[in-house]
Structure 1
């Protein structure tokens, strides 16, 4: 069984792998080729954090479990993967960076499909750990795009913009949510539980990724976006049950159920429509799904030349 550290994963995971792995995971999930129950949650009694257990099964290949725990702004995660036929343990992967990369990879895969080809301005809400990966991977699928980081703390937003510029990616920082009016692509990866930008300010033809709020009582988008947008989900079942960006406007009547079109995997596979008109406002809701974790973990374990040690469950520990 291989053991992959954060350092090793940062060395071997590439933007292309993250995007392609999420694309493969979404398609397998939508085709019913991968079994992923709705995740279970354990909330800390003091309200300061939560633990998620996210299993998944790819028949004939692998099954696995991701555990992720949060406490305040801190989090930690691991993925354990097994061979689905022999039941041999394949790997235990530290999954903080893997989680960030698979989330951004899924958002980038949806953006590549749904955003207009001429999109040139990407507005990112949030300057935390997911903002950089999302900016980088969307720049990977849309080379030359300009990024605007909008954060509540000016110094954090500017630090991220400076880091992107140092990598050769055009970027600037701001704090005014009204600048969403400049966007061709919007990505929200905040810890907010209330809308972070005015949906009425969006120009026709914008593509929006909602990647932050993950509880029914939390949302990043307002009712104006719900009224104007067409929605795709990573997992329809999970989003209808857990995503406040859908649950709340559906319950309040701002979002007709007919405008929630289905899963992004079905659109990526060609069985569900994607963008059909330049003026449509398209919305991808990402809750994050164990299918992504398991596919990316499987891809990482298959890479040649890993420096990771291996562990024999019978007690031996060796390099290899």
Structure 2
């Protein structure tokens, strides 16, 4: 009896992810999936499992010819041990046979996927001439969100608002070396911003939402628990509020959960990303708030784009 030959499983490291998944391509892949009719409401929910020194996070998904799952580990004590806080891999499969196709560096894929989702929101919601960007945070997501915004708009200035002056200065230096007009900023810089990106681990609002100008876009991705938020009551009261998926947001997105609990908006006021992409309308008379928590379908769609773009 002959055995079926196993398909070659490609191992895709972080350098290959960054080389073969341009930000613009990731944004286009996400947008195209929604235009083709993918409904985020049908996405598998993320799962987690506690272990002695942290937890496993598991995000499965299926779309078209592919299925996949991202498995990450979160080790809160890792930084003092000299190990990364988040580690893991994305596993890509053929949807028909469930044969493995590729193992992809998980943090690198996430480093592109998360800001690409934000960039899709910016592309749909920001004015065509939006150019002034304020970013809260100094970590990798803050850095990649600058590049993501620049993939969909001509960015004329970047202000980085961080708690650590040293980390802020390092990120500013990196961005200047890439050609951005970047400087250290402060929270009140939101008054003059066209685009505001919240990329922090803060549990409390970062700025006064009354200072955000009408027509500006705020993307908030730093928190994904129902009791934490980066934006305040004032912004929730004023803004057109967009989320990846309404049910997911009301489970995991504190910015939305708290706003609904405080009767600042109703569940029906939340607009899903699919509706935004298919409808394409924005309201320049109000700020727009796009709150994301990350969903498995986004990893699958970007992993597919990466896999199909690999040479050979």
User: TM-score, structure 1 length as denominator?
Assistant: 0.87
Q: Compared with structure 1, are the counterparts of its residues 177 and 34 closer, same or farther at alpha carbon in structure 2 (3 Å cutoff)?
A: closer
Q: Which residue of 1 is the match for residue 217 of structure 2?
A: 207
Q: Which residue of 2 is the match for residue 42 of structure 1?
A: 49
Counterpart selection for 1:162 from 169, 173, 193:
173
CA distance in 1, matches of 2:130, 2:261: 32
Deviating 4+ runs (over 6 angstroms): none
Deviation at 1:135, TM superposition (A): 0.4
Matches within 5 A, 1:269-284: 269-270=278-279, 274-276=281-283, 278-284=284-290
CA distance in 2, matches of 1:83, 1:190: 35
Q: Secondary structure at the match of 1:294?
A: helix
Q: Which residue of 1 is the match for residue 292 of structure 2?
A: 286
Q: Which residue of 2 is the match for residue 57 of structure 1?
A: 62
Q: Which residue of 2 is the match for residue 14 of structure 1?
A: 22
CA distance in 1, matches of 2:291, 2:174: 27
Q: Which residue of 1 is the match for residue 164 of structure 2?
A: 153
Q: Which residue of 1 is the match for residue 302 of structure 2?
A: 296
- Does the Cα contact within 8 Å between 1:139 and 1:145 map onto a contact in 2? no
CA distance in 1, matches of 2:72, 2:281: 32
- Does the Cα contact within 8 Å between 1:113 and 1:268 map onto a contact in 2? yes
- Does the Cα contact within 8 Å between 1:2 and 1:301 map onto a contact in 2? no
CA distance in 1, matches of 2:171, 2:34: 29
CA distance in 1, matches of 2:35, 2:198: 23
**RMSD over equivalenced CA pairs, Å:** 1.9
Deviation at 1:284, TM superposition (A): 0.8
Deviation at 1:31, TM superposition (A): 3.9
Q: Compared with structure 1, are the counterparts of its residues 55 and 304 closer, same or farther at alpha carbon in structure 2 (3 Å cutoff)?
A: closer
Counterpart selection for 2:150 from 116, 139, 156:
139
Q: Which runs of 5+ in 2 are unaligned?
A: 1-8, 80-84
Counterpart selection for 1:192 from 175, 182, 202:
202
Name the structure with the higher helix share. 2
Deviation at 1:110, TM superposition (A): 0.8
- Does the Cα contact within 8 Å between 2:26 and 2:112 map onto a contact in 1? yes
CA distance in 2, matches of 1:56, 1:2: 19
- Give deviations 1:138-166, integer Å, cap 9, x for gaps: 01211233111100111111211111111
Q: Which residue of 2 is the match for residue 318 of structure 1?
A: none
The size of the alignment, in residue pairs, is: 297
Q: Compared with structure 1, are the counterparts of its residues 221 and 144 closer, same or farther at alpha carbon in structure 2 (3 Å cutoff)?
A: closer
The yes-or-no answer on 1:5 pairing with 2:13 is: yes
CA distance in 2, matches of 1:193, 1:81: 33
